[in-house]
């Protein structure tokens, strides 16, 4: 073989090895590791380290935003690469439909300790089998700076469509809860949203855009509130302000009289996981009162723990920030995320994109 050929072959081999390494979506899993696809609140060491130490394992966390992104990561991975999945409660049915989730042993998890309205068995169970458990919830409502606005105004969604706070409003950039809130403002329930009402919703969204200073995802919208760029965040809630309240006690949130939108995130185990037992232990840990308290007060964002027994672990200040004692009323006045079918979902996203472009 000529030197030239050797160079060519070795070059091709190097490139092939390099390409394989470069395109690997997940870390190579060692025997004592767990790979979890999570939201940012699970990346807090205060939550993960106790589990790692107890089980002598390492939890590899891949943070994502948007179920579409997570599904793209899973599609590009090898079966078995991922063990644990933190997923938007609203998206559990479609992930179950795709056959991605393993059945969870309902009798080994504290389902009865989960707030009743948050259990959402119709979402997490299929044919009597449980595929996910709700771990954290909260509200997409109205966050505000109480020194800049009249807190009483924040109880009426219509105020945000009037001229009173024009140019002082930030909008959370997630079409499902925001369009649900628009439905509430229009006197409908989120579940009343159909393709026929979308033109009217678009008009309402365009009016909201006229009043808003920005539309942003989690970090941008909360930054707008924190820096004073906006005084109100529609779609915000405890998740947007609780973590900042120690530094800025003027930030607050409220459930409007028209009601709020209940968000929820769930925990599941991948059907192809090679470490289902360890993954289940992780689920049990996160759902324990201690795990729940740590998750609820994660440094990324706060939210209500699904397990009410976490109340025994949280401090009085933490419970105050989460409005623990008002949960019964809040839950009663809240609507779950509306889950549109694929066709309506596409139309809603079209409407939202037009709103962003307006």
Interface residues with another protein (CB under 8 A) are: 4, 7-8, 11-12, 15, 19, 65-69, 71-72, 75, 94, 97-98, 173, 175, 213-217, 220, 223-224, 227-229, 342, 345-346, 349-350, 353-354, 356-357
Q: Which is nearer to another protein, 235 or 305 (CB)?
A: 235
d(C-alpha 8, C-alpha 243), whole Å = 56
CB of 345 vs another protein, minimal distance in Å: 7
CB of 68 vs another protein, minimal distance in Å: 4
- List phi, psi (to 5°) of 336: -70, 155
CB of 215 vs another protein, minimal distance in Å: 4
Q: Which is nearer to another protein, 98 or 328 (CB)?
A: 98
CB of 141 vs another protein, minimal distance in Å: 20
CB of 277 vs another protein, minimal distance in Å: 28
Q: Which is nearer to another protein, 239 or 355 (CB)?
A: 355
Asked if 280 contacts 268 with a C-beta cutoff of 8 angstroms, the reply is no
CB of 10 vs another protein, minimal distance in Å: 11
* Three-point CA angle 305, 310, 316, nearest 5°: 100
SS (H, E, C) the chain: CCHHHHHHHHHHHHHHHHHHHHCCCCCCCCCCEEEEEECHHHHCHHHHHHHHHHHCCEEEEEECCCHHHHHHHHHCCCCCCCCEEEEEHHHHHHHHHCCCECCECHHHCCHHHECHHHHCHHHHEECCEECCEEEEEEEEEEEEECCCCCCCHHHCHHHHHCCCCCCCEEEECCHHHHHHHHHHHCCCCHHHCCHHHHHHHHHHHHHHHHHEEEEECHHHHHHHHHHCCCCEEEEECHHHHHHHCCCCCCEEEECCCCCEEEEEEEEEEECCCCCHHHHHHHHHHHHCHHHHHHHHCCCCCCCEECEHHHHHCCCHHHHHHCCHHHHHHHHHCEEECCCCCHHHHHHHHHHHHHHHHC
Q: Which is nearer to another protein, 285 or 338 (CB)?
A: 338
Closest to 175 (Cα-Cα) out of 141, 212, 205, 211: 205
Q: Which is nearer to another protein, 8 or 121 (CB)?
A: 8
How many CB atoms sit inside 10 A of residue 22's CB?
8
CB of 70 vs another protein, minimal distance in Å: 9
CB of 220 vs another protein, minimal distance in Å: 6
CB of 221 vs another protein, minimal distance in Å: 9
Look at strands 129-130 and 125-126 and give their pairing: antiparallel
Q: Which is nearer to another protein, 15 or 328 (CB)?
A: 15
CB of 357 vs another protein, minimal distance in Å: 4
Look at strands 33-38 and 84-88 and give their pairing: parallel
Q: Which is nearer to another protein, 19 or 162 (CB)?
A: 19
Q: Which is nearer to another protein, 328 or 346 (CB)?
A: 346
Q: Which is nearer to another protein, 243 or 287 (CB)?
A: 243
Q: Which is nearer to another protein, 105 or 228 (CB)?
A: 228
């Amino acid at each position: 073989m000529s030197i030239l050929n050797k160079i060519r072959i070795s070059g091709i081999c190097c490139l092939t090895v390099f390409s394989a390494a470069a395109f690997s979506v997940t870390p190579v899993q060692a025997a004592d590791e767990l790979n979890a696809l999570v939201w940012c609140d699970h990346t807090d060491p205060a939550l993960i380290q106790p589990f790692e130490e107890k089980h002598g394992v390492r939890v590899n966390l891949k943070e994502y935003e948007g179920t579409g992104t997570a599904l793209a990561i899973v599609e590009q991975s090898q079966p078995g690469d991922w063990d644990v999945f933190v997923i938007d409660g609203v998206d559990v049915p479609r992930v179950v439909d795709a056959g991605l989730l393993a059945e969870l042993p309902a009798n080994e998890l504290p389902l009865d300790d989960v707030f009743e309205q948050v259990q959402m068995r119709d979402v997490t169970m299929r044919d009597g089998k449980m595929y996910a458990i709700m771990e954290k919830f909260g509200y997409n409502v109205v966050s505000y700076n109480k020194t800049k606005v009249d807190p009483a105004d924040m109880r009426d969604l219509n105020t945000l469509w009037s001229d009173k706070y024009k140019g002082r409003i930030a909008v959370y950039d997630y079409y499902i809860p925001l369009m649900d809130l628009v439905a509430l403002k229009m006197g409908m329930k989120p579940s009343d949203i159909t393709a026929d009402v979308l033109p009217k919703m678009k008009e309402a969204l365009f009016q909201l855009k006229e009043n808003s200073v920005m539309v942003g995802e989690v970090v941008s919208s909360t930054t707008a509130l924190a820096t004073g760029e906006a005084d109100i965040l529609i779609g915000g809630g405890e998740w947007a302000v609780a973590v900042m309240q120690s530094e800025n006690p003027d930030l607050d949130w409220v459930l409007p009289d028209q009601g709020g939108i209940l968000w929820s995130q769930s925990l599941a185990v991948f059907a192809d996981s090679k470490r289902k037992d360890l993954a289940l232990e992780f689920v049990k840990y996160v759902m324990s009162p201690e795990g729940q308290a740590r998750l609820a007060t994660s440094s990324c964002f706060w939210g209500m723990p699904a397990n009410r027994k976490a109340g025994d672990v949280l401090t009085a200040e933490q419970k105050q920030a989460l409005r623990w004692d008002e949960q019964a009323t809040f839950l009663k006045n809240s609507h779950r995320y509306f889950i549109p079918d694929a066709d309506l979902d596409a139309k809603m996203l079209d409407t939202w994109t037009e709103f962003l472009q307006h």
